[in-house]
Structure formats: C-alpha cells, structure tokens
Chains A and B, each alone.
Chain A
Amino acid sequence: MRPASAEEAAELLRTLGEEGRPLRPRGGGTKDWGPAVEGAAVVETGRLDRILEHNVGDFTAVLEAGVPLAQAQAEFEKHGQMLAIDPALNGDATVGGVMATNDSGPLRHRYGSMRDLVVGTTVALSDGTLARSGGKVIKNVAGYDLGKLFCGSFGTLGLIVRVAVRLHPLPPGTASAVGASDDAERLGAAARGLAAHPLEADSLDLDWRDGLGRLLVRFGSAAAGDQAAATVTRMRELGLADCAVVEDDDELWMAQRVHQRGDCVLKVSGRATDLAAACRTGASVVGRPALGLYWLSLAPDPAAVAAARAALAPRACTLLDAPAELRADAWAMPDPGALAVMARVKERFDPARIFRPGTFVGGI
C-alpha cells in the first residue's frame, strides 16, 4: 500500500482502522528494528517523496516523509546547507524512517538527533485524522510538541507523513584529530577530558574493536585544521598514543557510521563515565561518549545479548539490528509511571490499535 498524498494516507488508515487490520509503516526498509508483527499490512511512504519547500534564506525545509535522506541532503548541499543528521545510510533510508527510529550518526554530538531538528510534523492516525503540530519556523512554542512524541515511536503511534526541519550551514572544511589507546579506562578519561573543553567539535566518537580503541574528533569550520592540531596536542596530554591530524577525513567518519550497524547491535543509553564498561563487554563499540550513547556489535546469540545487558545494568539497552527471534525482546523497560502514560498515549493516538500492535515497550 503506497499512498501518494497525506490525505490518501489518512483515508487508507481510516479504512484499515475500521477493518482492525494491523499494519507496519515502511520507509526505505533499511532498518528492521523492533519485534515483527504477524500478518501486518505494509504501508509504504515511497510515493510521499516530494521536497515541498526548501526555504534557503530561512534554513528550513518541508519534506514528505518518504523522501530519501540522501536525496534531501543532495538538494540542500546545492545551497551549502545540510540537515544535520548522518546515520548510516544503506540504501534509501527516508526522513520519516530516520525520525521514527530516532536514528542518528556522529553529527549528533553537536546538533542533537531528529527530535532537535524537527520543527513541525504532520501525522496520519488510525481513525483517519490528519494532524499537524509545530510549524516551519525554528522557534515556536504554540501547542504541544507532537513531533518529539513521534521521534522514536517506531511506527507504533501513527504514520509520519510530513516533516518540517531546521537546516544548518555545510562546514566550509573539515579536519579530524585521532588518538588511540588499548586501555579503556584511559580512553574514557580522555573522552571526558575532551568533552569538558569548549572545542565546538562537530563530532566526538569512540571506536573500539579487537582490544584497541581510538577517539576521533571532527571539526567543521574555516579553522578546522588548526582546531584539529590543537586537539592532537590535548590528546597527547591526556595520554593517548598515535595522535594525528587527518585532513581527508570522510572515510574515517563513514566507517564510524557503518560500524553503528551490524548483525546484532545493542544501543546503550548510558553516561560518559560508562565508556570503559561498554568496551569491557568484549563487543566492538561505536560511541558518542560526550552523550553517553554506545552501539555494541555483538554475536547474534541470546546469551551474548543477555551478558552485555547484565554487564551494563541498570542502563537501558535497546536491541536494534538483530535476528527476528532476538528482536522479540528488543526494548528496555521504561519507568512504570511513564509506561502507564505511554499506554494511554497509544490508546488515544492509535484508537484502532493497528500500528504494530503489541510490539513496543511493555507490550504496547
């Protein structure tokens, strides 16, 4: 099912709602995350693929949810702008899909995730309601911020059909500083030391594999090379080895993005101080240490996942990429008080209970 407009999508959902037919929204089909739903209809956003507005002077854009992120970026790039979100893009990941899964990449360090970039949203609900919130200006507090509610809702509340976003200038140049250590504690302390300085870095990442780790800091500015050089000095002071400036750094960061995906990836909502613990699980780790977020690549077997979760408890761990049998248990448990509200949110926004029913946290 491929609606071609927001109105068509709403009509389709009304019909499915009346029939009580479960569905799952699908964008580019690049992220098979969360438990599967038996016999669900697939509602694709592939024909909701128009860039409705690119207001160059205002640094904003309005996109239909099915626009591939890469295509949107190419359009913005023509005008020296970007949507500051850079998850691994295998294939045609869409703007709506990135938003629904709360996916992100190294730029999150500076610019936040989709929740911080979306300024307006239109959603279609299972009773055929088409509802808009926010607007298309970068500052606005009128009405409730439903955009955030739909960020990371994994297609369980409604269908995101249209998104207004804030854009940022493309950096005039980039350069990175890299430093290594095989001591996870030292890497952790160095990461915190770097994060405590007003570097104004675009990204600050951890790359840990096979018992060896690196910190990578990327600058995107006219003075990027100088900033990277100064950071190399700081990295040495913090006890890192093999410190160097990398001028031509695209590949370095592409690798970070790619390593965030895998056969079995557990995302950890943690703290800066959890870096060493994440590395000690034995997994390969991509981390945004200043944000406390880590992506662990594990062997795709239940024991490995359970062991990593136990080692990092009580941090919330979400299973992203994984074989279907493991994804049945993808989520961490929310706070009980919050979960009760979430259940009521689900009831009200998806009254027909057809959006991936039973697949979200606590069986919502």
Chain B
Amino acid sequence: MSTAHETSHADEPAPLAEAPPRDLSPLVAQLRALVGEEWAYTQEHQLRTYESDGLLQYSALPAIAVLPGSADQVQACVKACAEAGVPWVARGSGSGLSGGALPVADGVLIVTSRMKRVLEVDLANQRVCVEPGVTNVAVSSAVAPEFFYPPDPSSQIVCSIGGNVAENSGGAHCFKYGFTTNYVCGLEVVLPDGELAVLGGRELDAPGYDLLGAFVGSEGTLGIATKIWLRVLPAPETVKTLVAFFDSTHAAGEAVSAIVQSGVVPGAIEMMDRTAIEASEQMAHAGYPVGRGAALLVELDGAERECEARFDEVVAICERCGSDDVRVARDEAERELFWKTRKAAFPAMGRMSPNYFVQDGVIPRTKLPEVLEAIDALAQEYGMIVANVFHAGDGNLHPLVCFDGRNEGEAERAEELSGRILDACLEAGGSITGEHGVGVDKKRHMPKMFGEPDLDAFQRLRCSFDPAGLANPGKVMPTPRLCGEVPGEYRQHPLEAAGLAERF
C-alpha cells in the first residue's frame, strides 16, 4: 500500500499513482548510477525532506529522489522511468502552495535544485538563459541594475524558475507587468517519453503551435524544463510608493476601482484588512495604525514625469475615497518597510494563530466589496478568524483561514470554510486559483469551474505530451484519466486492467 497521507476526501477516487506494489530496485539502481551515489536518496530520513512542498498537509514518500546535475542526466532519468513505466514528479525548491510537487508514493522524484547555472546573459537582445534550479531573484540579480525580471512571487528568494514555469507564477507586480507566461520565450524540455524538445526559443513566434504557452503553467504534467529562456525589461526610471489607511476594506476597494478606472496602471496595488494589519504590525513595527479597517499599498513605477503626475492623482483618489492617512515613502528604506510589512502578513499570521490555510481565489475586481462581505459572513458562521491579504489590482484574494489544529475537527472545518470562500469567488465570476495552481489541493474544485467537455479538452493536451500518464499523475485533473489511443483501435491500459482507472 502507498504511504501517501492526504487530508481525507472520502468522495475522491484513489489517485492514479497508487499502482500495485512492484519491485523498483532495478530502476532505483539504474537512477543511482545515472546521477551518482551522492545525488540519489532512498533512505527514509533523506526522503522526508521531500515528502511535501510548501503545502504541508499533503505528504508522500517517493521510492527515490534524484538530484541530476545536467539536462542530460534529467533526460536519462526520465527515459529510465518511461522504460520502467514508473511515474515521476519534478520538484524545484519545493515552495509551491498547491501540492504540485507532492511526490507520487513509491514513484520517482526529480529535484532540479543542483541545476543553478545562469547559462547566458544577452542584454542586447534582452534575454537570459538559465537552468531550472536558478532562483527567481537570481535572474533579476544577473541582469541588474539596468534590467529586471518582472514576475516576483513572494517566495522569490527561494523559489526556482523551473517551478515558476510549472506554476505560471505571478507576484505583486503582475497587474502591470504580467505573469511568468508573458516572460518565458523558450524552453528546452524533456518530454515524459524521454525525448527532448525545444518549445519557442530565444526568438518570439516560433513556427507551429504555441506549445510554449501550453507548457507554462501546466504544473509539471507535460514534462520537465531543463533550459529556460527569459525576456527581461529595462528597470523603471523611478518608483513611488504609498500606503493609505481606510476605515473599511469596502472604502479601500472603492479606491482601487477608482484608481484603475482613471487609467492609472500601478506596478502594484496590495490590500490588507484589519486582522492582517494588526498581525503584520506586531512583526514589522512599521508604525501602522492598529485598528484601522484596511491598508492599501500602491506603487507606481515608470518614467519620472509620468509617475509624478499619476502619483498625485492616486493620492487624491485615496483621500476622496475616505482615507485620512496617506503615507508616501520618502526614501528606499521606507519603501522597503512598506513592503516588508505587506510581506510579513503570512508569517505574522503564523504567530497569531497556530495554523492557517492560505486561499488563492480570484474575482473580477469590481466584485471586491461584496465578496469580502461574503467572506466576513462565512467567518462569522464558522466562528473562525479570516485575515485578508490580496493583490487588489487583479482581484487575487489570499484569505488566511486561522485555526488550531490541536482541536479536534477544527482543521476540517477550516478547510470547509476555505472551500466555501472559493465558491463565493466562483459565484462572482472568478477562478479557484490565481497563482498557486491546482496541484493536488484544488483538483476537487475543478469541476465547479469546468464542465466535462472542458476537462476532456485539457486531457487531450496532456495526452499529446504524456500518453503514458507518467508525469506528475494525480494532479490538476479532478479524477484519474487515461489516454485513449488516437486514432486507431482500443487497447487496454495496464492500470485499467488492474481496475485502478477508468477510461474517459
């Protein structure tokens, strides 16, 4: 039996990955030889490091974790898995928040953390080529100070570009600058059958289908990227940042709408509610007024003159929408303090509450006030604290549902509440995930957003890349599916024969 432990969902069918026990020792020996003794882990105490990603409520032990040092080694490992018919999962830094890098129990885990080389910096063409294990922040460092890499997830110091590609990571500045998918122009990938393919390239508009666009954000289910070409931008001339305090999130939400309506495209607009302000202030000591209903951080960047003119406009809008306390960062140190306070929100909640779930819903921006009210009502109904921190510009909410896991049943109730927040987002016309991904955590919500024909179309893409279903199985899709042979006659899949999966 598998050693996977997942928060139980009784209605959920067994993951496809739970294949019958088999002797993996030949494959393990082969992988060990491929990457070298010291980079192959099979002892339980070694494997524990990799049993979860950033979402700790899911864990599973792979049979082996390998840390290849080159694209060739990655390819050899994937090929060995393909030949043995054993599922594998790719893992970057393991900071993902949807269980996307959760190992398949008794499968293979391919960790890219040793592949950290910046291969090429071509500033004349505004391109950088990196290996997948390079951290997000290292890309910006490699091209600084004249250039920068815009996607900036909160975990940017640790998270890897390979993981960013898999998850199509966002960040605080994506309202203006876009997401990972807007900056990846080429990928060298190892396909699940062990073949190598180049999707896109250093140049834009490669001939044929935009497989690159399909691959970015595919959560490790279509293959593993071994080389990544990124577009970088010239760093903005100037940055201006303010924090405005409001009596309510409703008023702050109206300010957000008014700012965007006026035609201003801020680099970032971030909101925190009362609970989040209180928690962050205790940790960051920025002198924020505890007890105020909402804090809105607005950052404009770009050309000096344009920024100046627009900034005054933003200040005026905040005041008009009821803020009597607008603080403009006087220097870089103060700007950093504003951001530190915003980014402290998650760890700060950890001090206030023994446990919490981070939700990642999206709503149309104009629905902000009513959805926040709905979240409030839900929190009261469940008698739990929900703190709200979010990327207000693009309607990406991160409600933090606080609970004490030591109390019987509280985790389950918190999870239920968290799920109902997603329902509220969907009712408002939104999405179940804005940047964390579906992974294993949200696959059961997929049918609320997509119908059977939609899921079928997703499966067509997956099968085009991975007909054998070996790359990160059990993620994204709500139920395990197999790939039919197309075209041609029906053949039975081994897992189907074993009664472990149905054909769709």
Identify the A interface with B (CB < 8 A). 55, 57-60, 80, 102, 112-113, 115-116, 123, 125, 129-133, 135-149, 151-153, 157, 168-172, 192, 195-200, 221-223, 226-227, 267, 269-273, 290-293, 315-316, 318, 331-342, 344-345, 347-349, 351, 360-362, 364
Contacts and interface: CB of A to CB of B under 8 A. Distances in A.
Given A139-B362, A222-B310, A342 B208 contact: yes
A335 B205 contact: no
A341 B464 contact: yes
Contacts of A361: 207-208
Interface in B456-491: 456-458, 460-465, 467, 476, 486-487
A108 to B, nearest CB: 9
A258 to B, nearest CB: 21
A34 B456 CA distance: 29
Contacts of A133: 450, 454, 457-458
B395 A269 contact: no
A145 B191 contact: no
Contacts of A157: 209
A137 B362 contact: yes
11 contacts: A80-B263, A113-B205, A133-B450, A137-B434, A139-B394, A140-B362, A142-B442, A144-B214, A168-B265, A338-B199, A345-B460
B396 interface: yes
Contact of A152 (B209, B260, B434): B209
Given A58-B366, A269-B206, A342 B211 contact: yes
Contact of A112 (B167, B178, B309): B178
A318 B207 contact: yes
B217 A145 contact: yes
Contacts, number: 274
B470 to A, nearest CB: 15
A263 B174 CA distance: 40
B453 A341 contact: no
A198 B203 contact: no
B377 interface: no
Contacts of A293: 204-205
A156 B73 CA distance: 36
A315 B167 CA distance: 30
Nearest to A337: B197
B461 A340 contact: no
B458 A146 contact: yes
Given A136-B364, A200-B303, A141 B210 contact: no
B206 A142 contact: no
Contacts of A170: 263
B486 A351 contact: yes
A315 B203 contact: yes
B60 to A, nearest CB: 23
Contacts of B178: 112, 116
Contacts of A152: 205, 209-210
A22 B397 CA distance: 46
Given A142-B442, A222-B310, A267-B205, A272 B124 contact: yes
Given A152-B205, A196-B146, A273-B125, A222 B454 contact: no
A142 B431 contact: yes
A223 B454 contact: no
Contacts of A360: 208
B54 interface: no
Given A149-B209, A198-B234, A269-B205, A139 B453 contact: no
A146 B214 contact: yes
A314 to B, nearest CB: 10
A172 B454 CA distance: 40
Given A131-B453, A137-B429, A345 B209 contact: yes
Q: Name the residue among A115, A140, A170, A192 with the largest chain B CB count within 10 angstroms.
A: A140
Contacts of A226: 305
Interface of B: 123-127, 146-147, 167-168, 170, 174-175, 178-179, 181-182, 191, 195-199, 201-214, 216-218, 233-237, 257, 260-261, 263, 265, 302-303, 305-306, 309-310, 362-366, 391, 394-396, 429-438, 442, 446, 449-451, 453-458, 460-465, 467, 476, 486-487
Contacts of A171: 263
A292 to B, nearest CB: 6
Contacts of B236: 198, 200
Contacts of B260: 59
B396 to A, nearest CB: 5
B182 A116 contact: yes
Contacts of A169: 263, 265
Given A138-B394, A348-B486, A196 B125 contact: no
Given A139-B396, A142-B446, A335-B198, A342 B430 contact: no
B457 A125 contact: yes
A129 B458 CA distance: 12
Given A59-B365, A153-B209, 13 more contacts: A123-B457, A135-B449, A137-B395, A137-B434, A141-B168, A141-B436, A142-B450, A143-B454, A145-B168, A149-B213, A196-B126, A272-B124, A345-B461
B373 to A, nearest CB: 17
Contacts of B125: 271-273, 292
Report which residue of A199, A269, A272, A341 has the largest number of chain B beta carbons within 10 angstroms of its beta carbon.
Answer: A341
Contacts of A291: 204
Contacts of A273: 124-125
Contact of B487 (A130, A331, A351): A351
Contacts of A147: 213
Please list the 7 inter-chain residue pairs (A to B) with the smallest Cβ-Cβ separation, ordered nearest first. A148-B213, A337-B197, A131-B457, A169-B263, A57-B366, A348-B460, A140-B431
A227 B306 contact: yes
A105 B462 CA distance: 32
B468 to A, nearest CB: 12
Contacts of A345: 209, 211, 460-461, 464
Contact of A223 (B235, B306, B433, B435): B306
A141 to B, nearest CB: 5
A148 B202 contact: no
Contact of A139 (B263, B434, B451): B434
A143 B394 contact: no
Contacts of A347: 464, 486-487
Given A142-B432, A198-B237, A338-B208, A271 B217 contact: no
A364 B211 CA distance: 15
Contacts of A331: 207-208
A1 to B, nearest CB: 22
A68 to B, nearest CB: 24
Contacts of A335: 197-199, 201, 206
Contact of A199 (B170, B197, B303, B446): B303
